[in-house]
Homo-oligomer: A and B are copies of this chain.
Amino acid sequence: MSIGEVLARLREDFPDITISKLRFLEAEGLVEPQRTAAGYRKYSAADVDRLGFVLAAQRDRFLPLRVIRDRLAAIDAGEVDPSEPIDGGFADDAVGGTEPPAELPADLRLRREELLERTGLSDTDLRELENVGVIAARSPGWYDGDALIIATVAAGFAAHGIGARHLRAFRTAADREVGLYTALVAPMAKSASPTARARAVETVRELGALSQQLHAALVRMGLRDVLGQ
């Protein structure tokens, strides 16, 4: 495939891809397409897959190219299983803004008092959030980074007069979504093949991204109607 054809294919999933970016990714050592006698780039299907991996890692995990390149090198050398998640990614960094911790949310460990201190919530507030089901301790007395994010968000809502009981609906909606996606990838996730399991992870990530966009667009539309803009 020529560079133009690759562009057209990738544009489906990554609308802001450019020829200049494809050349740049080669210059940075992330792909090495063959060349024709005249010097034209010739991409194989594997090259295109590789580009898809790179672009998805940028888009969904906000990883810098250097990290992605090292990861690919390790996979090429057979040192890592492709399904292993890359460290250092934090899928929501650029989405929200309020207080995303530097660590992976799942790896953070906070005690109850630390959580209260870092969010400014009272003990009662936190207990309400737990009753409503939007926050849960991972193990008794210990909270993770997602709990921190949610607690911070809840504090933000509270500042506008939106209390814990209003957040129960979020939990319900999320549960329904998770159920839907789970049913879909369950066979893949249970497969003995590591490639299938990797695909399950990737599929779930894609579905999560789609879900974000849909949720965002519907809320924005609704609010625009209300504000008369």
- CA–CA, A215 to B173, complex, Å? 8
Q: Chain B residues with Cβ under 8 A from A178's Cβ?
A: 219, 222-223, 226
Q: Chain B residues with Cβ under 8 A from A209's Cβ?
A: 96-98
Q: Given A98-B15, A213-B153, check contact A218 B92 (CB 8 Å).
A: no
Type the 1/0 row for A94-119, where 1 means its CB is closer than 8 Å to any CB of B: 11111110000110000000000000
Kindly state whether residue A175 has any CB partner on chain B within 8 Å. yes
Kindly state whether residue A122 has any CB partner on chain B within 8 Å. no
Q: Chain B residues with Cβ under 8 A from A227's Cβ?
A: 189, 200-201, 204
Kindly state whether residue A74 has any CB partner on chain B within 8 Å. no
Q: Given A106-B224, A223-B178, check contact A60 B97 (CB 8 Å).
A: yes
Interface size for A (C-beta < 8 A) is 70
Asked if B217 and A146 sit within 8 Å, CB to CB, the answer is: yes
Asked if A92 and B216 sit within 8 Å, CB to CB, the answer is: yes
Q: Is the interface of A mostly helix, strand, loop or mixed?
A: helix
Q: Chain B residues with Cβ under 8 A from A91's Cβ?
A: 216, 220
Which of A166, A181, A210 has most B Cβ within 10 Å?
A210
- CA–CA, A92 to B215, complex, Å? 11
Since A96-B210, A105-B220, A174-B215 are in contact, a sample of 18 more A-B pairs with Cβ atoms closer than 8 Å, ordered by chain A residue number, is A91-B216, A92-B216, A94-B94, A96-B216, A97-B209, A98-B209, A106-B224, A166-B180, A169-B176, A169-B177, A177-B222, A178-B219, A178-B222, A181-B223, A201-B229, A204-B227, A212-B212, A215-B215
Residues on A facing B (Cβ under 8 Å): 13-15, 59-60, 85, 91-92, 94-100, 105-106, 134, 146, 149-150, 153-154, 156-157, 160-162, 166-167, 169-171, 173-178, 180-182, 184, 189, 200-201, 203-204, 206-224, 226-227, 229
